[in-house]
Amino acid sequence: MTLLRNPKQRKLLFSAGISWMFDAMDVGMISFVVAALAKEWKLGPEQIGILTSINSVGMAVGAAAAGIMADRFGRKSVLLWTLLIFSVASGLSAFATGFAILCVLRFITGVGLGGELPVASTLVSESMPAEERGRAVVLLESFWALGWIASALIAYFVIPDYGWRVAFAIGALPALYAIYLRRAIDDSPRFAEIRKAPLSLKKRVAIVWSQEYRRSTIMLWILWFTVIFSYYGMFLWLPTVMVLKGFSLVRSFEYVLIMTLAQLPGYFTAAYFIEKFGRKFVLVVYLLLTAVSAAWFGNSTTEGMLMAAGICLSFFNLGAWGGMYAYTPELYPTAIRSTGSGLATSFGRIGGIIAPLWVGVLVGRSVDIGSIFMIFFVTIIIGALAVLFLGKETKGTELI
């Protein structure tokens, strides 16, 4: 699998990938920090739920706002600002003196985190040749797994001995990386073409929902919602599900690491297939296999089956994520590309807010785990069907 013979394009992919990794590291960090916080601050289940969901609320706001601003002020500048926002807010979280202050800081962190992702994928997509564009964006998304591995390592080596505050302080490091990134990358050449005559926000939103792009917009909003809803609903509950099924292999570093490592081949195979068979093929096939894996996981009865189903779930779900990030920017013209991508991502983030809380309610009412995961099965199928019937293939097409 050859990729990017142009050194400048390779540098952009790697540089943006590192920022993507830092984003994932911070998202992963909160899941490990919560356990230490709950014990130290004696937080109840409701407070834990608020703290974990406030990040997603911020990400929904950030995705829409950054997407809109990137079509006005440029991809590079907004990428740098989102990187600074989430890293500074994460660092300040280390000095939080109470629950309310920490929630405010985690919301601000989420704004930066959610804003960076659609802008980074748009920048990389617009800077790559048509024959390698999809593969490059999927590989950009693969840095997410590296960020989760980094957060797991910090959780394993730092939090037990040095506490959660030091873990948050480490989250401030991307601020220094932003200084390097400012010199290392250039803005999208396609954005430079429309910089002199940017469209108004009202005009951009109108075009996103115009007759020409309405079908793609509806498809993307369904896709993003179903993928994020299922991802956060399932993955935040995987360790708890294993406890409910009576198994001991839960919340351990080894389990998190195995699940995260399974993401990497998911990304890499999707990166290969996306240019060989197309975007729709990768999304539909990987989503259908994610749905099957979800049903398998929810109905597993042995520890071995749970691990195998969990690995498959991680493999196919994250491969679909990569395909989704590659596909989304290709469906809009340059003048509205970041706005369209940001709005779709923002709508999807609502699913990330709802799903964990919804699963908690169902578990609290003693709803069978198999039944809960069958709901995720149906949700993911809906996303796959939306791509199959409403999506158009963009493999090999030049961006406009």
CATH top-level class for 7-390? Answer: mainly alpha
Q: What is the pTM of this model?
A: 0.89
Rounded distance between C-alpha atoms, residue 226 and residue 324, angstroms = 12
Identify the pLDDT of residue 321: 94
Report DSSP state, residue 399. Answer: P
CA angle 368, 369, 374 (to 5 degrees): 100
Query: What DSSP line would sit under 146-181, residue for residue?
Result: HHHHHHHHHHHHTHHHH-HHHHHHHTTTHHHHHHHH
Q: What is the mean pLDDT of each run of 10 residues along the chain (400 residues)?
A: 71 92 87 78 77 87 94 92 94 92 94 93 91 91 89 83 90 89 86 79 94 97 96 76 61 67 91 94 98 92 83 94 94 94 95 85 82 94 98 90
Distances in Å between the Cα of 161 and the Cα atoms of 1, 73, 96, 255 are: 43, 43, 19, 21
Tokens standing for residue 343 = 């709005």
Identify the pLDDT of residue 151: 85
